Amino acid sequence: MVEAFSEWHHISKMSKSAFKNLTAAVTTINTPMPFRIDEDTLLACLKGQNFERKWRVYVQALFDEVDVSVIHNLVLDHFVSFDDLLKAIDTWQVTESENERWIREMASFEVGRSHAESADRT
């Protein structure tokens, strides 16, 4: 399954826990859905590289259904930043979500934090 992430240069260095966390997020999102989103597509949607409207409900599900600790680990594992998530919230028009409010707050703290200051979860 790691081969599916060929466009993500850091995947070969990704820890098993990071991959498990990303897969857990995608599994949670896909559970009630008739079609499946894959990890590459989800990350592309979150990073502003895919804007296909058919994925909106999946992105909304990330913020509504996925536990905040899983979303936080996506940031700690360097899949996305809080700024990426904040932009995704605005782009995909995510509203009325506890995670959305938490991400807005965390994104406001992220300004000025260097990459070296973030946690290393390898």
List, for residues 60-100, the tens digit of each pLDDT value.
Answer: 999 999 999 999 999 999 999 999 999 999 999 998 888 99
Please state, in angstroms and rounded to a whole number, the distance separating the CA atoms of residues 75 and 70.
Answer: 9
Instruction: Specify if 67 maps to a domain.
Output: yes
Please state, in angstroms and rounded to a whole number, the distance separating the CA atoms of residues 27 and 9.
Answer: 23
Instruction: Specify if 107 maps to a domain.
Output: yes
* Mean predicted confidence (pLDDT) in 95-113: 83
- CB atoms inside a 10 Å sphere around CB 89: 23
Q: If 0-12 CB within 10 Å is exposed, 13-18 middle and 19+ buried, where does residue 59 land?
A: buried
Instruction: Specify if 36 maps to a domain.
Output: yes
Instruction: Specify if 3 maps to a domain.
Output: no
Instruction: Specify if 89 maps to a domain.
Output: yes
Kindly indicate the confidence band of residue 4, based on its pLDDT and cuts at 50, 70 and 90: very low
Instruction: Specify if 2 maps to a domain.
Output: no
Instruction: Specify if 9 maps to a domain.
Output: no
What is the per-residue pLDDT for 70? 97
> Percent helix, strand and coil across the chain, each rounded to 5?
65, 0, 35
The model's pTM is: 0.79
- How many structural domains does the chain have? 1
Assign residue 34 a region (left: φ > 0; alpha: ψ between -120 and 50; beta: otherwise): alpha
Could you tell me the residue range of the domain that residue 68 belongs to?
A: 14-111
81 neighbors 75 (Cβ within 8 angstroms): yes
Instruction: Specify if 122 maps to a domain.
Output: no
What is the per-residue pLDDT for 9? 46
